[in-house]
Amino acid sequence: MSVIKELREYFTEIMRLNYIQALLGWDQEVNMMGYKSVKGRSEQRALITQLIHKRVTSEKTGKLIIEAGKLKDLNDIDAAMLREAKREYDLETKLPEELVIEITKTTALAQQAWQKARQEKDFKLFVPLLEKQVELQKEKAKKLETHPDLYSTLIDLYEPGVTYDWIAKVFNPIKPKLIDIVKKLNSSSDKPDDSILKKPYDIDKQFKLSFEIIKKFNFDLGYGRQDRSTHPFTTSLAPLDVRITTRTREDYLNECIFGTIHECGHALYEMGIKEELHETILCTGTSMGIHESQSRTLENYIGRSKEFWTYWYPSFQKYFPEILKNYPMEEFYRAINIVQPSFIRVNADEVTYGLHIILRFELEKDIIDGKVQVNELPEIWNSRFEELLGIVPPDDAEGVLQDIHWSHGYFGYFPTYFLGTLYGAQIYNNALKKNPSLPEEYKKGEFSNIMNYLKEKIHQHGAIYRANDLIKRVTGEDLNPDYFFKYVEEKFYPIYGL
């Protein structure tokens, strides 16, 4: 057997263990009722993690990577497979076992402390464990040393190949532009009113309708499934077994509808990976940012467009006649596109969202560099929040304590959310250039051309191409935020009568 074939098959078994791990997690989130059941499940999950670690770091993996590295003229797929295998191997072998165990234990405690601190709106309760988590993440970055600076090494875990400097170059000029646009929109005397979205919408009907929407997007029920969970997510239990979850809130329509469309974007990426890559190490999205570009494209660029609602609004009126029967589509469209500074990132609109991310990105850099101490965070958060969004959080629960990420040690993850928005805008612009009649098709409930475009350009390739190579292949240029601003200006100024 050739070395490459052996490497491929060896990692297929690792992928299968990963899928089993995902199934254990999915079932826990979706079905597990008893809190007493968690204990047994955590032990099973720990065992699978251990088995994966053992296989990835085995002598055999090391040998296969060295042997495969000697081969010349590998094709794109084989080269990418070797690149990813080496990446996994390095990540798992460079970290001492004691450090991994220490991080796992600290994370469990930090998450509890974070929950309590958030509940009691008291940041002090979180300080000791967050301090420890920061130290451990710095330690981890020192061991991995993918880049000279620690924060870039952490970013690389989620957005391979990307550094702090590169993102700063993208985000820095964006910041003042976003602040200006938000101010300009909010100076309008003709602002949208979103109270219509906060009426009592029957949650079962919401769920049913969201299911209708994803079916139209070609979410394949032959190997897909939708359930409810506390936090919406997408997971693959095998290449042909993709699960999404959603949550419903009676007094806020956006949660279920846009949440479902968002997860459907992630799911279609996973569903669209070509068969040749199934069960290989490349059978996954290429980065968190590119994954997010797919969910945001469905949720925002398509799902919040007027043409999309031209098709769907009559169904919503039929499902919720007592609320929407006499409410004009145009006003509903304006309501779902309202732009206003708010405290909570996950509920932020398309325009202010970037500012929430830039705040976290800059703060994380300062924390990792030791320029900001953990105990100073609430004060610094609030003052920077005011600079960016013009409002001050009433307490830490709506401020520095709102996200779970830091308790998990996920420093470097946040920027990928906004990179996704920017990648998505550029890709979607290309789709429209190639096929300007796409929006007209949405009006008729026709989404197959846009879905085929995304599948052909992005989904099928799985993790073969790194984000920057992929965006260049698809659009002919490097990441260019101008497409996002063009979209924002063309869409939101008219909505605000400007």
Residues that bind Zn ion (CB under 5 A): 295
Q: Show the DSSP H helices in 158-287 as ranges.
A: 164-186, 203-216, 253-271
Distances 65 to 8, 18, 142, 407 between C-alpha atoms, Å? 11, 20, 23, 34
Q: Tell me how far, at minimum, the Cβ of 361 lies from Zn ion, in Å.
A: 17
Question: Which residues are designated catalytic?
Answer: 263
Nearer to Zn ion, 126 or 269 (CB): 269
* Nearest to 153, CA basis, from 211, 75, 91: 91
Nearer to Zn ion, 21 or 295 (CB): 295
Q: Tell me how far, at minimum, the Cβ of 465 lies from Zn ion, in Å.
A: 20
Distance CA 48, CA 30 (A): 20
Reading phi first (left if > 0) and then psi (alpha if -120 to 50, else beta), residue 289 is in alpha
Q: Tell me how far, at minimum, the Cβ of 486 lies from Zn ion, in Å.
A: 23
Asked if residues 46 and 22 have their Cβ atoms less than 8 Å apart, the reply is: no
Q: Any residues with CB less than 8 A from the CB of 66 and at least 6 apart, and which? A: none
Q: Which residue is nearest to Zn ion (CB)?
A: 295
Nearer to Zn ion, 295 or 468 (CB): 295
Nearer to Zn ion, 295 or 337 (CB): 295
Q: Tell me how far, at minimum, the Cβ of 196 lies from Zn ion, in Å.
A: 26
Asked if residues 274 and 218 have their Cβ atoms less than 8 Å apart, the reply is: no
User: Distance between the two ends of the chain, CA-based, in angstroms?
Assistant: 66
Q: Tell me how far, at minimum, the Cβ of 118 lies from Zn ion, in Å.
A: 21
Distance CA 353, CA 420 (A): 12
Nearer to Zn ion, 268 or 377 (CB): 268
Nearer to Zn ion, 284 or 295 (CB): 295
Q: Tell me how far, at minimum, the Cβ of 107 lies from Zn ion, in Å.
A: 21
* Nearest to 297, CA basis, from 459, 468, 478: 459
Q: Which residue has the tokens 């251990």?
A: 50
Amino acid (one-letter) located at 32: M
Distance CA 240, CA 478 (A): 32
| 3-class state of residue 286 by DSSP | coil
